[in-house]
Structure 1
Amino acid sequence: MPYKKTTPGKRAPAKRKLAEVFALGEVLADTSRKEWKLGVPIGQGGFGRLYLADVNSSKSVGSDAPYVAKVEPSQNGPLFTELKFYMRAAKPDEIQKWTKSHKLKYLGVPRYWGSGLHEKNGNSYRFMIMDRFGRDLQKMYEENAKRFSHKTVLQLGLRIVYLVDYGLAFRYCPEGVHKVYKEDPKRCHDGTIEYTSIDAHNGVAPSRRGDLEILGYCMIHWLSGHLPWEDNLKDPNFVRDSKIRCRDDVSVLMDKCFPGKNKPDEIAKYMEKVKLLSYEEKPVYQHFREILLKGLKAIGQKDDGVLDFGLSENGDLKTNPMQKKKRKAAATANESTEAEMEDTGSPEKKKPTSSSKSKECSHSHVYWCGRLTLAKGQTPTQPLTPLLSGTKGENRMRKCMG
């Protein structure tokens, strides 16, 4: 899920220097001497900025640019960590090779196109070029009164496979040997506080069971609009202890999030199965998929690749009328902002990449980025706008579904 305010237990790189704003048309040369031209800035994080980008040419970088550039001062750490991952695993030929060898329709890793250092005004900046993505799905969630339909939640659970932000990427099993369970007080509560795993709360390095636990919290939040600990996020120990109680008795979690009779049985089964995993265990991912597929079947749906982002009321949970009003206002404001951008070309406003108003989109083009986004050019609920996650969100979710 998206970046939230830094919590007391989380490492907060607040003292890192924020990258200066580069002028429209600034040219960066990567390590292979290929040149990239920057367009308008479309977002910033705690210490980095995100720009539209394209291969250098005599033309200016338009709103339909196929790439983005992440830029941050070279002495900062998160982008350097990301680069190590992207250079190792995300080169286009490597992704194509993996996809083909595993008979996949796609591999959920954005393609890495280049990186390097750039000197400006006596300062050194690190940059990385990657695929551009579309609208932040979190915004759709908020505009939808913080609720997705049962069918959509299960399909997202089945196929959330695109990760963008690897600022906290971690090799949990180097050379085939899993890291041992070790609690580190300095790492306690790493991640986005409401979704992070119990292991992370205890300062333990990421593992596959933690990834699946995080996905479970996300699905529950999407479906119910609520997590039991969300009113006490400033107290990470309270959040941790609440998660432990809910893990030990999954029925408590379900009762708090789904107080009526209509509880999603497949979510409870999913969380029970996560509970049984050991730290170093390799999950049988197909078993988790089967749980979610059975959930779709139970509500008379199938995994048809279509996501419905219409306003949803799930089971016994009714949408607050004020939330509906806020959703309508947010959607109106979004359309107004897009119209202004089209008229002015201002770099401070976001231009849509599609004018479609359909309530459905192709599921195979939904991305998980620490933020959730829709791919540029696909058909979402509202017009697409550029992704706004710069380097601020330090890998809020490390999801692996095999």
Structure 2
Amino acid sequence: MEASNLHWTKQRVTFRFCPQCGTKLQSDFKFCPSCGKKIPCSADPSEREGTSAPTNISPSKVDEACKDSIDSQDSTEVHGCLSSSNVSPRPALRKTRKSYRLNRVLKLNVNEAPPSKTQVRGKARLLPPVEQGEKSDKATVDIATGSSPKSKALSKAKKPKHTVALETLENGTEMTDMTGRKWTVMQLLSQSMTEFVYQVVEKGSKKSSSSESSYILKMGAKDGRIFNEQNFLQRAARPSSVKKWIKQQNMDLLGIPSCAGFGFYTDSYRFLIFSSIGQSLPSVMQDKLLPEKTVLHLTCRLLDVLHYIHSNEYVHCDVKAENIYILSGQATQVYLVGYSHAFRYCPSGQHVEYSEGRRALPEGSLDFISLDAHKGVAQSRRSDLQSLGYCMLHWHTGVLPWSTLTNPDKVAALKQRYMDDVPALLSHCFGQKRDSSAFLSYLTAVANLQYTEQPNYSELRAKLSAALSQLSGHLDEPLVF
């Protein structure tokens, strides 16, 4: 051993190491090619040429200096452990911001097993331990971010927005919209976990006590779903666009709510102002079944609204009784509201592709959502028409085969079964009563629609209108409940 140490002392080494990054360098290099650090010149020939190891350092002392090293056979670490005023071994690597961040990440796994180490030129790359039986992609840690590939993939998915706890407004509260118009809260009409609906009047109105001047204020979290509804109303349901559509289609009415204004309340809430649109359908029905004549009348009016929405690249995605309002008059107006779930299925004229498992199951009742929604597919035009068909059956018969189920998968299985066999669906819902030929025609046509296919709205409406006429009904007459 002493002979080998003596031989090592006499042998001259023609290389040295960068004091900044530890990269092996030739003796004549003045700058490090890896980090660009200027190599200091020393008057000591032994330091300038590389170095010679001192004779006063025994192997036992070297072992003591290196006993905390992770790998005692790693030549890089051995050089890093040597220290002496007479020698210039390869310096230990300096800790960088990445290494400090990595250390914090690896603390979570310290109690499980020591981290393994992979030697890289000029750098040390540490990997957390891989548990027995665990996939390696779960254990691989990115040096820059300390995250795994799987967590990176999940971070790209849309995360649910933080919901703000809503507080009830007191009667008499004043709110100002973006145009400067002031509104006074009169009373709370309804509320849910994410939205409040109030009756309001415009401040200074001469008819402030009249129902003709009352408006509806809908308020929700500033960045919640009400933002999506505002975006739809401004993009696809401007009053000028609705009037133009009515004129082109030679219609008398179209149940798109007119947005009179919008604004913000404090820094947390967003509100929309609508003209009065009457009562919700459940409050009008009062848990009673509707006659077929009324259901056909309602469906014709709602088809008109869906035709307009779909022609403007959107689908409603939440057709149900709670989103239908009735304004009584000489000709009953039927409004479809609640566009917080509206989806742009055909941006710039390009229909979205069919892909299952891409979207979460929408909120709300399982009874009326479409099969596409159950499968995690972005909803299309046939989805709205399918939901409307479920509503028709429920309003008239009060029965749906899946009404008593709460498991979404079981509900989806039954919907698929009965949409493949529409006569069986009607037989289940109508029971001993005679089936409706109008219902059968509508549901069969909807069940046969392809994902990107454009429905024939005129034909669907014409068949429903003809069935309504056979029941001595007419669209110009008031609805009968």
Contact residue 95 and residue 111 of structure 1 kept, 8 A: no
Q: How does 1:288-307 map to 2 (within 5 A)?
A: 288-299=460-471, 301-307=473-479
Give the drift of 1:36. Answer: 2.2
Q: Using the TM superposition, name which of 54-63 and 41-50 deviates more.
A: 54-63
* Counterpart Cα distance in 1 of 2:472 and 2:262: 47
1:190-249 CA-to-partner distances (Å, cap 9, x unmatched) read 5531011111111111211111111111111111111111011x1111111111000111
Contact residue 28 and residue 36 of structure 1 kept, 8 A: yes
Partner of 1:215: 388
Partner of 1:249: 421
Give the drift of 1:15. Answer: 6.8
* Counterpart Cα distance in 1 of 2:250 and 2:243: 10
* Counterpart Cα distance in 1 of 2:166 and 2:229: 17
Partner of 2:172: 25
Partner of 1:90: 237
Structure 1 residues 62, 44: closer, same or farther in 2, change over 3 A? farther
The answer to whether the aligner puts 1:157 opposite 2:299 as a matched pair is yes
1:139-190 CA-to-partner distances (Å, cap 9, x unmatched) read 333442xx11111111111112322111101111111111111223542355
Q: In the alignment, residue 379 of structure 2 is paired with which amino acid?
A: P
Q: In the alignment, residue 175 of structure 1 is paired with which amino acid?
A: S
The answer to whether the aligner puts 1:148 opposite 2:321 as a matched pair is no
1:95-128 CA-to-partner distances (Å, cap 9, x unmatched) read 3233233332122211111111222xxx532111
Q: How does 1:1-400 map to 2 (within 5 A)?
A: 16-57=163-204, 62=209, 64=211, 65-75=213-223, 77-119=224-266, 123-144=267-288, 147-160=289-302, 161=305, 162-188=335-361, 191-232=364-405, 234-260=406-432, 262-299=434-471, 301-309=473-481
Give the drift of 1:58. Answer: 7.9
Structure 1 residues 273, 107: closer, same or farther in 2, change over 3 A? same
- The unaligned stretches of length 5 or more in structure 2 are 1-157, 306-334
| Percent identity of equivalent pairs | 36
Q: Which has the higher contact order (CA 8 A, sep 6+)?
A: 1
Q: In the alignment, residue 338 of structure 2 is paired with which amino acid?
A: D
Contact residue 184 and residue 204 of structure 1 kept, 8 A: yes
* Counterpart Cα distance in 2 of 1:294 and 1:59: 45
* Counterpart Cα distance in 2 of 1:175 and 1:289: 27
Q: CA RMSD in A?
A: 2.6
Structure 1 residues 63, 50: closer, same or farther in 2, change over 3 A? farther
* Counterpart Cα distance in 1 of 2:449 and 2:340: 26
Q: In the alignment, residue 44 of structure 1 is paired with which amino acid?
A: Q
1:56-86 CA-to-partner distances (Å, cap 9, x unmatched) read 22889547242111122324x1111111011
Give the drift of 1:22. Answer: 2.1
What count of residue pairs does the alignment treat as equivalent? Answer: 292
* Counterpart Cα distance in 2 of 1:15 and 1:186: 18
Q: Secondary structure at the match of 1:159?
A: helix
1:353-391 CA-to-partner distances (Å, cap 9, x unmatched) read xxxxxxxxxxxxxxxxxxxxxxxxxxxxxxxxxxxxxxx
Give the drift of 1:261. Answer: 5.3
* Counterpart Cα distance in 1 of 2:366 and 2:394: 13
Give the drift of 1:23. Answer: 2.7
Q: In the alignment, residue 249 of structure 1 is paired with which amino acid?
A: D
Q: In the alignment, residue 458 of structure 2 is paired with which amino acid?
A: Q
* Counterpart Cα distance in 1 of 2:215 and 2:472: 40
Q: In the alignment, residue 135 of structure 1 is paired with which amino acid?
A: Q
1:284-314 CA-to-partner distances (Å, cap 9, x unmatched) read 11111122133234445454523221xxxxx
Contact residue 255 and residue 301 of structure 2 kept, 8 A: no
1:323-363 CA-to-partner distances (Å, cap 9, x unmatched) read xxxxxxxxxxxxxxxxxxxxxxxxxxxxxxxxxxxxxxxxx
* Counterpart Cα distance in 2 of 1:201 and 1:283: 21
* Counterpart Cα distance in 2 of 1:12 and 1:300: 52
Structure 1 residues 12, 198: closer, same or farther in 2, change over 3 A? farther
Contact residue 67 and residue 129 of structure 1 kept, 8 A: yes
Contact residue 184 and residue 202 of structure 2 kept, 8 A: yes
Contact residue 189 and residue 202 of structure 1 kept, 8 A: no
* Counterpart Cα distance in 1 of 2:435 and 2:470: 12
Structure 1 residues 91, 239: closer, same or farther in 2, change over 3 A? same
Higher-Rg structure is 2
TM-score, normalised to structure 2, is 0.56
* Counterpart Cα distance in 2 of 1:240 and 1:90: 32
Contact residue 25 and residue 60 of structure 1 kept, 8 A: no
* Counterpart Cα distance in 2 of 1:275 and 1:141: 28
TM-score, normalised to structure 1, is 0.67
